[in-house]
């Protein structure tokens, strides 16, 4: 129960301990706690931000998908239209081509006919003259009656 | 005293005597065991000699145990602080953080001003007092017997049963209270707080008459802070220690009383766990409250 120098010794020890605790114990541990608190808060905020962004991204994705669908149907419609046009064009061109071929064929046929007619005419004239020559061998010469033969041949 | 049969009162007295090293005046002490021809620094061989040393003495056991326990506290917490990361904490860091958050909450709860000293101060007070009180749970004879074998006659292992230790801390707190009172309120504010309340009057003359009354009241309440702080802790621990010693006496009084003493000691030790924690907590809380009052302007 004696009060003595121990009192001063304890007081000094106490001061040293408090100083040590303040400097080397409290500050670093509180620092770590504070830092962790901040990191957790940051993490939560980042998570929330991420969720928000995900919602936005989903909406954007939906929009893009809707746009793409619209574009696709547009393209399909255009293609169909174009196909119909091509078919129409093909029909028209086929028809004109057919007509052209037909006309050409007709012209050729006519030419052939004309040529055959000419040929025939020449042959008929020759035949007529040969026939006439046989009949009129004696008194009629081909040169004398050339004009009659020509008029006959022209009548064919 | 080892090996000798001693009376109960000698046993108690022996247990309550500190290992005192001090300046012993010339004279004859301890029934002639310790004869001093020239005054000088030496170990006291009985409580009478220790008393005769007066203020010029130091309790080696109190100093030793308090410093060892404080060093253990600082070592563990320093280690926790060294490995402290903001990532996933380990076991030691978890423990340190748990204690520190508890202290921090207590400080935030009752300390309104901003002061970076108060929380570490509270942590030191709480853990240090708790560890010193904890020595009370070591059976009373174990460490004194061991030290007796090592040739040390007196060993009081619970520093908080030494008023020097409790007053040392209480005075440290009191100096801080004075320091912050003057720092926050100024010398005038502090003196005014001591002299101009609780009684005051609008009449200057009456007010002047109130000053001595106020001063006596406020001074007593100011001084009562460290005294109550120190004596409360000391009284609780001293009484607890005394009961452990009384129970320990029963062991030498036959089988039946010895067994009964064993049961009593277990019961008292379990109850004492509550007391040592509570006393550490009370000392810490009152320190916070006193410092908070020092920061308040009236």
Structure tokens at B169: 């801390």
Q: What angle do CA A30, A32, A37 make, to 5 degrees?
A: 95
- Asked if B82's CB is within 8 angstroms of A18's CB, the reply is no
A21 DSSP β-pair partners: none
The reply to whether B18 belongs to the active site is: no
The number of residues making up chain A comes to 156
- Asked if A33's CB is within 8 angstroms of B97's CB, the reply is yes
Q: What is the C-alpha separation between B174 and B51, in angstroms, rounded?
A: 27
Q: Look at residue A32 in the predicted model and tell me its pLDDT.
A: 87
Task: Tell me the pLDDT tens digit for each residue of B122-175.
Answer: 999 999 999 999 998 888 888 888 888 888 888 888 899 989 999 999 999 999
- Asked if A26's CB is within 8 angstroms of B56's CB, the reply is no
- Asked if A36's CB is within 8 angstroms of B100's CB, the reply is no
The reply to whether B228 belongs to the active site is: yes
B161 close contact with A: CB closer than 8 A: no
- Asked if A33's CB is within 8 angstroms of B58's CB, the reply is no
Q: Look at residue B94 in the predicted model and tell me its pLDDT.
A: 87
Query: Average pLDDT over chain B, rounded to whole?
Result: 87
User: Count of CB contacts below 8 A, A vs B?
Assistant: 140
- Asked if A25's CB is within 8 angstroms of B123's CB, the reply is yes
DSSP states of B179-241 as a string? HHHHHHHHHHHHHHHHHS-S---SSHHHHHHHHHHHHHHHHHHHHHHHHHHHHHHHHHHHHHH
Low-confidence ranges of chain A (pLDDT < 70): 1, 137-142, 144
Q: Identify the three-state secondary structure at position B35.
A: strand
Least CA distance to A36: which residue of chain B? B86
The reply to whether B232 belongs to the active site is: yes
Reply yes or no: is the peptide bond before residue B198 cis, omega within 30 of 0: yes
**Which residues of chain A have a CB within 8 Å of the CB of B171?**
7, 11
Q: Which helix (H) or strand (E) holds B286?
A: helix B255-295
B24 close contact with A: CB closer than 8 A: no
Catalytic hit among B115, B147, B207, B228 = B228
Q: What is the C-alpha separation between A47 and B72, in angstroms, rounded?
A: 42
A17 close contact with B: CB closer than 8 A: yes
Q: Identify the three-state secondary structure at position A73.
A: helix
A79 close contact with B: CB closer than 8 A: no
- Asked if A30's CB is within 8 angstroms of B78's CB, the reply is no
Q: What ipTM is given for this predicted complex?
A: 0.87
Q: Identify the three-state secondary structure at position A26.
A: helix
Q: How far B291 CA lies from chain A's nearest CA (Å)?
A: 15
Q: Look at residue A137 in the predicted model and tell me its pLDDT.
A: 66
B34 DSSP β-pair partners: B29
A6 close contact with B: CB closer than 8 A: yes
Q: What is the C-alpha separation between A40 and A55, in angstroms, rounded?
A: 23
Task: Please answer whether residues B286 and B229 qualify as being in contact, where contact means their C-beta atoms are separated by less than 8 angstroms.
Answer: yes
- Asked if A15's CB is within 8 angstroms of B172's CB, the reply is yes
Q: What is the C-alpha separation between B15 and B68, in angstroms, rounded?
A: 20
Q: What angle do CA A27, A33, A37 make, to 5 degrees?
A: 140
Q: In angstroms, how far is CA B239 from the centroid of its own chain?
A: 13
Q: Which of A10, A21, A39 lies closest to B164 in CB terms?
A: A10
Torsion of CA A108, A109, A114, A118, to 10 degrees: 100
Q: What is the C-alpha separation between B291 and A65, in angstroms, rounded?
A: 68
Task: Please answer whether residues A18 and B120 qualify as being in contact, where contact means their C-beta atoms are separated by less than 8 angstroms.
Answer: yes
Q: How far A42 CA lies from chain B's nearest CA (Å)?
A: 13
Instruction: Report the 10 Å Cβ neighbour count for B210.
Output: 19
The residues in A 86-145 lying below 8 A from B, measured between CB atoms, are none
Q: What is the C-alpha separation between B15 and A10, in angstroms, rounded?
A: 21
- Asked if A8's CB is within 8 angstroms of B168's CB, the reply is yes
Q: What is the C-alpha separation between B225 and B214, in angstroms, rounded?
A: 17
- Asked if B18's CB is within 8 angstroms of A30's CB, the reply is no
Q: How far A52 CA lies from chain B's nearest CA (Å)?
A: 26
Q: Look at residue B168 in the predicted model and tell me its pLDDT.
A: 92
**Which residues of chain A have a CB within 8 Å of the CB of B80?**
25, 29
Residues whose CB is less than 8 angstroms from the CB of residue B181 and which lie 6 or more positions away in sequence, other chains included: B190, B193, B294
Residues whose CB is less than 8 angstroms from the CB of residue B130 and which lie 6 or more positions away in sequence, other chains included: B276, B277, B280
Q: List b or e across B80-93, with b for residues whose CB sees 16 or more CB atoms inside 10 angstroms.
A: bbeebeeeebeebb
Structure tokens at B286: 């009152």
Q: What is the C-alpha separation between B201 and B210, in angstroms, rounded?
A: 8
**Which residues of chain A have a CB within 8 Å of the CB of B101?**
33
Q: What is the C-alpha separation between B76 and B86, in angstroms, rounded?
A: 19
**Which residues of chain B have a CB within 8 Å of the CB of A17?**
70, 73-74, 124, 128
Written as tens digits, the pLDDT of chain B (298 aa) is 344 566 888 888 888 888 888 888 888 887 777 788 878 888 888 888 888 888 888 888 889 999 999 999 999 999 888 887 777 878 888 888 899 999 999 999 988 888 888 999 999 999 999 999 999 888 888 888 888 888 888 888 889 998 999 999 999 999 999 999 999 888 888 888 888 877 777 888 888 888 888 899 999 999 999 999 999 999 999 999 999 988 888 888 788 888 888 899 999 999 999 999 999 999 999 999 999 988 887 5
């Amino acid at each position: 129960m004696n009060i003595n120098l121990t009192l001063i010794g304890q007081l000094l020890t106490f001061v040293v301990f408090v100083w040590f605790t303040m400097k080397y114990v409290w500050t670093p541990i509180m620092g770590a706690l504070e830092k962790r608190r901040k990191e957790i808060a940051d993490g939560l905020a980042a998570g929330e931000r991420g969720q928000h962004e995900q919602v936005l991204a989903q909406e954007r994705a939906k929009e893009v998908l809707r746009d793409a669908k619209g574009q696709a149907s547009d393209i399909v419609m255009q293609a169909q239209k174009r196909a119909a046009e091509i078919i129409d064009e093909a029909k028209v061109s086929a028809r004109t081509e057919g007509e052209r071929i037909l006309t050409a064929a007709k012209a050729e046929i006519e030419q052939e006919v004309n040529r055959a007619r000419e040929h025939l005419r020449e042959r008929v004239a020759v035949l007529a003259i040969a026939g006439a020559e046989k009949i009129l061998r004696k008194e009629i010469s081909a040169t004398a009656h050339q004009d009659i033969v020509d008029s006959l041949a022209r009548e064919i | 005293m080892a090996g000798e049969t001693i009376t109960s009162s000698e046993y108690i007295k022996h247990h309550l005597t500190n290992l005192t090293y001090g300046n012993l005046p010339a004279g004859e002490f301890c029934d002639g065991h310790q004869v001093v021809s020239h005054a000088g620094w030496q170990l006291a061989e009985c409580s009478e000699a220790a008393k005769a040393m007066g203020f010029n003495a130091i309790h080696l056991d109190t100093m030793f145990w308090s410093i060892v326990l404080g060093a253990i506290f600082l070592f563990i917490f320093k280690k926790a602080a060294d490995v402290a990361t903001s990532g996933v904490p380990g076991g030691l860091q978890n423990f340190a953080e748990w204690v520190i958050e508890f202290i921090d909450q207590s400080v935030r709860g009752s300390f309104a001003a901003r002061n970076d000293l108060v929380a570490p101060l509270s942590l030191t007070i709480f853990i240090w007092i708790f560890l010193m009180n904890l020595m009370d749970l070591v059976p009373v004879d174990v460490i004194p017997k061991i030290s007796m074998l090592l040739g040390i006659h007196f060993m009081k292992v619970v520093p908080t049963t030494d008023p020097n230790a409790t007053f040392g801390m209480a005075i440290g707190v009191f100096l801080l209270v004075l320091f912050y009172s003057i720092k926050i309120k100024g010398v005038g504010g502090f003196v005014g707080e001591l002299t101009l309340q609780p009684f005051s009057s609008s009449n200057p003359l009456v007010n002047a008459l109130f000053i001595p009354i106020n001063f006596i009241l406020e001074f007593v309440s100011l001084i009562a802070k460290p005294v109550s702080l120190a004596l409360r802790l000391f009284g609780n621990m001293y009484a607890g220690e005394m009961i452990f010693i009384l129970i320990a006496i029963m062991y030498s009084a036959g089988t039946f009383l010895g067994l009964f003493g064993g049961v009593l000691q277990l019961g008292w030790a379990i109850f004492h766990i509550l007391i040592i924690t509570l006393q550490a907590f009370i000392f810490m809380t009152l320190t916070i409250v006193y410092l908070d009052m020092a920061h308040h302007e009236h």
